[in-house]
Amino acid sequence: MKKYIRVVGAVIVNEQDEILCAQRPKGKSLPLMWEFPGGKIEAGEAPRAALKRELKEEMDCSIEVGDKITTTVHEYDFGTVELTTYYAKHLAGEIQLLEHVDMKWLPRRNIDALNWAPADIPAIELIRDGSIEK
Ligand SMILES: Nc1nc2c([nH]c(=O)n2[C@H]2C[C@H](O)[C@@H](COP(=O)(O)OP(=O)(O)OP(=O)(O)O)O2)c(=O)[nH]1
């Protein structure tokens, strides 16, 4: 059976209604694709706590986690990813790229212009269309 991987992603919105997009490194799964910062939920961990931990580890910043956007399940060749996205606010700490190769703040209406990881597409459409308030 395929690995089932529970992942959380932070949709960080700034005061200009731009969204933080992060580019994955070359040497890992989904090389150079764009994603929301975040990662795997550890055993026994609450999803929002996992998101805060991952943002500290990947970008050395602290966030406030807000409303859930959506949960989607996508089958990759390396496993099945269940991705849950949450709106979040950047609270403190200059964003560092400790795991990503690039980042962009994109206006909400333009976020579908990047080459997103396939699991992210339903969330991207909801965010772009503003179906969920931040
Ligand atoms: N953080 C994050 N991961 C995503 C998104 N979309 C998506 O398909 N994923 C996938 C990529 C990875 O396979 C998995 C996230 O796990 P991770 O970030 O801890 O994994 P990784 O491949 O970088 O690291 P590793 O397992 O090789 O140590 O979920 C997303 O928007 N954000």
Under CATH, what is the fold of the domain 4-128? Nucleoside Triphosphate Pyrophosphohydrolase (3.90.79)
Place 132 in a pLDDT band, splitting at 50, 70 and 90.
low
The pLDDT, as a whole number, for residue 60 is 98
Nearest atom of ligand 1 to the alpha carbon of 79: 13
**Ligand 1 lined by 35 (C-beta under 6 Å):** yes
**Ligand 1 lined by 8 (C-beta under 6 Å):** no
| Residue 121: pLDDT over 60 | yes
**Extents of the domains making up the chain:** 4-128
Buried-exposed string 22-44: b where 16+ CB fall within 10 A, e elsewhere = bbbeeeeebeebbbbbbbebeee
**Ligand 1 lined by 109 (C-beta under 6 Å):** no
What residues contact residue 75 under an 8 Å CB cut-off, 6+ apart? 2
Place 34 in a pLDDT band, splitting at 50, 70 and 90.
very high
What residues contact residue 88 under an 8 Å CB cut-off, 6+ apart? 10, 11, 12, 13, 51, 55, 63, 64, 65, 66
The pLDDT, as a whole number, for residue 97 is 98
Report the share of the chain in percent with pLDDT over 90.
95
Place of tokens 């699991």: 119
ipTM: 0.94
- What's the pLDDT tens digit per position in 71-81? 999 999 999 99
The pLDDT, as a whole number, for residue 134 is 44
- What's the pLDDT tens digit per position in 45-104? 999 999 999 999 999 999 999 999 999 999 999 999 999 999 999 999 999 999 999 999
